[in-house]
Structure 1
Amino acid sequence: MRHIALLRGINVGGNRRVPMTSLKNTFERLGFTDVRTYIQSGNVIFEAEKPDQHAIEEALRVGFGFPVDVMLRSAGEWAALASRNPYPAQAAADGTKVHIAFLHDVPNPARLDALRARTTGEELWECLGRELYLYTPRGMGQSRLSLAPLGQPVTVRNWRTVQEIGEMLRG
């Protein structure tokens, strides 16, 4: 079964460096097969029966010397992302303005209320399970939206990246 591991906060601004070859080797040492990476931000596609998120995080911590949060999704979960996107027109117009924040867990309603209270301007979001779909008309770099109220690890990918990974999963 194919899976995608999304790593949070690696290779950003020259910090927390993780070479993709070393990352691939780490996943292979865990017994995963057909391991491929996509861009330097930490996207790993691999085959496994039932991957253990905590075992992956521990192997990364030991191998690279710092903690790395990992969000795991199956190929089936990934395939459902497009049909669930509440902003398809915006995604089609510019794949860098629609993002998905991938969460460890489904957030509790109080956390979503706290996020809603901090949302201002023209930015939009909708939480569907463990994914928070974001529309940021000025781009993520100009966004004032903080995902800290969610109270859990989050990693964000833009719509173009989501589509590219989808193609790799199908290929």
Structure 2
Amino acid sequence: MITVIGVGNDFRRDDGAGPAVVEALRGRVEAGLAVTDGEPARLVALWAGADLAIVVDAVRADPPAPGRVHELDAETAALPARPVTDHALGLGDAVALGRAVGQMPARLRVLAIEGADFGFGQGLTSSVAAAVGAVADRLAGALPSRQGGTLPADDHTARRNG
């Protein structure tokens, strides 16, 4: 089983990147699709038992390069325990909780899209919207679909999209 989880808040501009990727994948892939606010227990419940869980979230970076996508494998990357967006807790906390209770997916990948505007309001900035489209297209082409597909290869590099 494959699960794609979009983390974020549609009412905090670029923080809605994760949910936007999930929405763009609806009807295109044979995978479980879910949206959450990033609370660790919710993330653990969504990815528990998955063969592959892909978490898509918006992040802040310094210096920023809005639209740049960072791809991480949770088994080999150091994930921050504290959030890089406005979520109360971070993905690192969710991984620590999942490991502590034995509820990790067999494999966990993270796609982090650098955002520009995390203020109140709806709508993604143009560079983040372009990255959302590119990430959704990449996942749709790599995940199993009606036409078949393959899983993405391990790649721990940052990519510039948009």
Query: What's the TM-score bracket when you normalise by the shorter of the two chains?
Result: under 0.3
Q: TM-score normalized by structure 1?
A: 0.27
Higher RCO structure (Cα 8 Å, ≥6 apart)? 2
Structure with greater Cα Rg: 1
